[in-house]
Each structure stands twice: as C-alpha cells, then as structure tokens.
Copies of this chain bind each other. A is one copy, B any other.
C-alpha cells in the first residue's frame, strides 16, 4: 500500500524532479501516520526528530509536491490549519469520509462507497461528471452521548 523509494523516484522522474532525503522523510512521516490529520508544522516537528536540519519551507514545498502527485489529500477542519493525510491510492475513487464530533472534536475515518449512487444521479440530473468528493459529517460521537 505504501510507496517505496523506487516508486517515488520514478514518480518524481516523470516530472524531472529528484528524490531527496527530505522528500523521502516527509512522505515516510505521512505514511507512518495514516489516519492522523497533520498540519505542516506537525509534520515538520516529526520529521525533525530524524532530520533536525530540515526547514519548515521545505516541508511546505514537499507537501505541495505530494499533493500534485496525488499521494496526499488536504483536509480542512476550519481550525486555521490545512491538514494532510496520506491518500488511498490503490483505487481511483475516494471512498473515504470524515465524521467530526462537535463535542470532543474527534475525527473518525469512514470507508464507504455510499456516495456512488448520488454521483450517478448528478450525472443524469445535471450532466456533471463527479471525479472526486470531500465529505465531512458533523455530529455527536458515541463517547460523547
């Protein structure tokens, strides 16, 4: 499921880019923290444990790159940060939703393909071909009831 160095090198090569230690480490951190939703600053802190000289600017540049390569997804929880998580790149559709508890703020990951029938309906009703979606459900989780 995870991208190894050779695969990553190949993806970069297609765009004329180089594989550096910093890029490898940022991707590693995101892969090792699947399910967490890390900010650039958090990624920076974690990478710095192994690579203390890395700059925050490099983390930002790498994040953009990984997003362009469709290796990571952006998530906005309206807390003033953009958060990132490793994508599920084994399928071409995202069946991946977030349940956000309005009381404790916990974010629960849900794998499901329930959106497909809705997307088909948008095609027939609006002639709009859905290629991706971002869905956040807000509510109260079982622990907060």
Interfacial residues, chain A to chain B (CB-CB below 8 A): 74, 76, 78, 82, 99, 101-102, 108, 110, 112, 114-115, 117-119, 121-122, 126-142, 145
Contacts and interface: CB of A to CB of B under 8 A. Distances in A.
B138 A135 contact: no
Chain A contact surface mostly: strand
A108 B136 contact: no
Contact of A140 (B129, B133, B142): B129
B128 A137 contact: yes
Contacts of A145: 127, 129
A132 B139 contact: yes
A126 B102 contact: no
A63 to B, nearest CB: 13
Contact of A134 (B108, B110, B132, B136): B136
A118 B98 CA distance: 13
Given A122-B137, A134-B136, 13 more contacts: A78-B82, A99-B128, A102-B131, A108-B126, A115-B118, A126-B141, A127-B141, A128-B139, A130-B137, A133-B136, A133-B137, A135-B135, A135-B136
Contacts of A76: 76, 78
A126 B110 contact: yes
B142 A138 contact: no
Contacts of A74: 78
B135 A139 contact: no
